[in-house]
Amino acid sequence: MAQTSLKPTANVILPPTTPLASASFLFRADGSASWQVGNAHLIASVSGPMEVSKRDEQPTVATLEVTVRPDIGVSSTREQFLQEQIRKAITPVVVLDLHPRTLIQIVVQIVEAGENKTHNRIALSAAINATYLALLDAGIPLRSTISACTIIYVSSPDSNTSQIAIINPDKRQLEKNSDRIASVHTIAYELKGGQIERVLLSESSGQFTQDQLFECYDLAAKVCAESNGVLREVVTKSVGKHNAWRE
């Protein structure tokens, strides 16, 4: 992605912790993955391609089904929102026409959302990363890599200074700045060969300027490129684990 020449609109606070990821730990699923960032922890499992009901069968492509299960209680509009956004982000990179008339089933379990239910942004970016890794672990054909992150803009205590951009904030940072959050952004990028290709998902809420949005895209591109390195390490370890019997 081209570097912006815009004047910085915010001071940047880097993620408090490096994302933690793992794969291939659910034995009854074709693919599984875990993604932890900040206080958010989500697990994704993938089953398929498998037989699909006649009602959901599509003659030329596979049917992609996404289910999100809450950490506490029963499913609500929060989980429905996450389901639609996850599907929107991953559909462009899954090669669905290789397995027509089949079902690819994705289940995302929220272990810890890392935020209150009014935001759902950190959970969304973590869910997208976990889902991508689970699809890869299941051997589902993919066109490229997906990586997502969340950035919040916080008003500075000193009104004369610029806002503060916090990348993948943890619960402590969210609670500390709850009254000063100006905007929240979740961005998912498609990467090819480790390079940013295009935006797959951009969800923003709050008040922000055009310059802030462009700056946010550039910040997210750098974070997603780094997260792609974490994904590569997990995949390398998973492949080595699956091929251990050859040695």
Closest CA to 163 of 173, 171, 152: 152
Q: What residue ranges define each of the domains in the chain, with the CATH number in brackets?
A: 10-238 (3.30.230.70)
> What pLDDT, in 10s, does the model give residues 197-209?
999 999 999 999 9
Which residues, 6+ apart, have CB-to-CB distance to 246 below 8 Å? none
Q: What are 60's two structure tokens?
A: 């030329």
| pLDDT at residue 3, rounded to an integer | 38
**Which pLDDT score, from 0 to 100, does residue 242 have?**
67
The per-residue pLDDT for range 8-18, each reduced to its tens digit, is 567 888 876 78
Q: Give me the chain's average pLDDT, please.
A: 89
d(CA 62, CA 106): 13
CA distance 173 to 155: 13
Instruction: Tell me what percent of the residues of the chain surpass a pLDDT of 90.
Output: 67
> Could you tell me whether strands 102-112 and 181-192 are parallel, antiparallel, or unpaired per DSSP bridges?
unpaired
Please tell me the distance from the alpha carbon of residue 2 to that of residue 101, in angstroms, as a whole number.
41
3-state SS assignment for residue 205: strand
Separation of first and last alpha carbons in the chain: 41
pLDDT tens across 93-107, in order? Answer: 999 999 999 999 999
Task: Give the position of tokens 């079902």.
Answer: 103
- pLDDT, residue 17, reads 72
Q: Are 115 and 122 in contact (CB under 8 A)?
A: yes
Mean pLDDT, rounded, for 161-171: 88
Burial label, 76 (beta-carbon count in 10 A; 0-12, 13-18, 19+) = exposed
